[in-house]
Amino acid sequence: MWPELLDVLREPLTEARLHLKGAVNDGERILSGHLVSSMPGSVYPIVEGVPRFVPTEGYTSSFGLQWNAFAGTGGDALACRPMLARRRASHVA
């Protein structure tokens, strides 16, 4: 996360300012730490440079839902079929 974001990021529900606590950085970016709301009670982790405003299970369940809902409809899967067929044919011969 770029430090300049601290000037614009706000607590999602109350729009309160966020303050950085326990930061670890690489000289340029904030890699981990916590964003603490000026309104008591809200703390948001920074994980691998990304502020997390949704609980971890919210990220994974949303991804899993989309993965299952749209399985087989992706252009990549269709585009790769001819290539995979050629590879199989070349390995069989």
Q: Please tell me whether residue 77 adopts helix, strand or coil conformation.
A: helix
Q: Are 9 and 19 in contact (CB under 8 A)?
A: no
Which stretch of 25-29, 64-68, 73-77 has the lowest confidence by average pLDDT?
73-77
Residues pairing with 10 in the sheet: 17
Residue type, 81: R
How far apart are alpha carbons 5 and 19 in whole angstroms? Answer: 11
pLDDT of residue 82: 73
Residue type, 85: A
Render pLDDT for 19-63 as a digit per residue (tens, 0 to 9): 999 999 999 999 999 999 988 779 999 999 999 988 776 666 666
Say yes or no to pLDDT of 3 above 70: yes
Alpha helices (H) in 2-92, listed in sequence order: 56-69, 75-92
Say yes or no to pLDDT of 6 above 90: yes
Structure tokens at 66: 């989309």
What confidence tier does 75 reach under pLDDT thresholds 50, 70, 90?
low
